[in-house]
Amino acid sequence: MTCFFAFFFAPLNEAVAQEKNALYKWRKGIVKDEFIYDTAAFPSCHSASIVETTAGNLVYTFFGGTRERNPDVEIYICRYENGTWTAPMSVADGVQEDGSRLPTWNPVLYQIPDGDLLLFYKVGPKPSEWWGLLKRSTDGGKTWSAAEKLLDGFLGPIKNKPVLLSNGNLICPTSTEGNGWNIHFEITADFGKTWRKVGPIATGEDNLQAIQPSILDHGNGKLQILARSRNWALIESWSYDNGETWTPLNKTTLPNNNSGTDAVTMENGMHVLVYNHVLPGPENPKGPRTPLNVAVSKDGKKWDAVLILEDSPISQYSYPAVIQTKDGLLHFAYTWRRQKMKHVVVNPKKLKRRAIKDGVWPSVKGYELPTLETYKAEEE
């Protein structure tokens, strides 16, 4: 299933070949590039989450069905076993007590240290009306408990993974879309048995509209979020007390195309961000979901470009997730054109850093990010 090197052997004219070879400079560090499955019973898929289990295995989740928002959309799990991924297995659906169906949304995995594997997901007709549910697995994702409905008003992590803080709290980055876009946090001290809320974060003087945050841990109670927005930029906020209070939302220097991102803090303290480095035109904050980029930072403020995971006028490459496994490798999971789910493994020691200045992705000889006119924004 590995597909990274395929394009280098196809017949290419000289100009295209030069561009592909230049793009290769942005692919250094990749050690595996694969689809999670070849064929499936559903035509459309989206919204990845990936986790390393206590036993050291990988579990991958996403939703699939006829298309997003369709009532037949269910939550699927694939497990990495014996050097390959298991076929997609449905583990949750939106079947209601009266037999009617609603779509499922945005699954998120979390492995309790030496404990259960948690699966958070949403059910509802649309994001402004969905509710949160939780399932647990005691065997690394092979079997799952019955669904637990979260408390009214609680949704669980909305897209990106929870983070276990030094004080023992598990903090879930979440957001709502019903009455404007707002970010808040749901905190549990007992891995999902009891919950409390923090927020929503103040939207600031510019009334910034942001959702789907991810959390970076700078140590000593200092946290940072990066979030999707309707404001042509990735949005940030900072906490200096383990997530109990947060600064008002503020724009970063990085662009955002009104699409999901993810981030993780590595063991060495370096922060990793995966996102579409796309600045939409002034008429609409929604931009194409290609290319898919990776940047790193020591302080969460100054970012360096390191990878381009995908770059094609055929979109979309979106809703990514990123984790670091015990062996130090980075694992990226994301939607590939809404047709398949992708997994890319990266050795962070092999990455070459190039400064992002004034929000502009750096060019290398023979390759620059295509202009916005090359692409067309998606409807979803």
Whether pLDDT at 1 is above 50:
no
How confident is the prediction for the chain on average, in pLDDT?
93
For residue 155, give every residue at least 6 positions away whose Cβ sits within 8 Å of its Cβ, in sequence order, or none.
122, 130, 131, 132, 174, 176, 186
Whether pLDDT at 2 is above 50:
no
Query: Do residues 121 and 133 lie in contact, with contact meaning Cβ atoms separated by under 8 Å?
Result: yes
Whether pLDDT at 4 is above 60:
no
For residue 20, give every residue at least 6 positions away whose Cβ sits within 8 Å of its Cβ, in sequence order, or none.
7, 8, 12
3-state secondary structure of 20: helix
3-state secondary structure of 1: coil
pLDDT for the residue 154: 97
Structure confidence by residue, pLDDT tens digits, 165-195: 999 999 999 999 988 999 999 999 999 999 9
Q: What is the distance between the terminal CA atoms of the chain, rounded to a whole angstrom?
A: 28
Structure confidence by residue, pLDDT tens digits, 230-282: 999 999 999 999 999 999 999 999 999 999 999 999 999 999 999 999 999 99
Strand partners of residue 318: 335
At 341, is the pLDDT very low, low, confident or very high (cuts 50, 70, 90)?
very high
At 113, is the pLDDT very low, low, confident or very high (cuts 50, 70, 90)?
very high
- CA distances from residue 359 to 131, 252, 292, 302 in whole angstroms, order as listed: 36, 9, 15, 10
Question: Quick one: average pLDDT of 65-89?
Answer: 97
Whether pLDDT at 52 is above 60:
yes
Question: Quick one: average pLDDT of 131-154?
Answer: 97
Whether pLDDT at 9 is above 80:
no
At 65, is the pLDDT very low, low, confident or very high (cuts 50, 70, 90)?
very high
Question: What number of CA atoms fall less than 13 Å from residue 365's CA on the CB side?
Answer: 0
Whether pLDDT at 378 is above 80:
no
3-state secondary structure of 162: coil
pLDDT for the residue 3: 41
pLDDT for the residue 18: 52
Whether pLDDT at 373 is above 90:
no
pLDDT for the residue 139: 98
Structure confidence by residue, pLDDT tens digits, 188-236: 999 999 999 999 999 999 999 999 999 999 999 999 999 999 999 999 9
pLDDT for the residue 7: 33
pLDDT for the residue 12: 42
pLDDT for the residue 5: 31
For residue 284, give every residue at least 6 positions away whose Cβ sits within 8 Å of its Cβ, in sequence order, or none.
377
Amino acid identity of residue 302, one-letter, is: K
Placement of tokens 């303290």 in the chain: 269
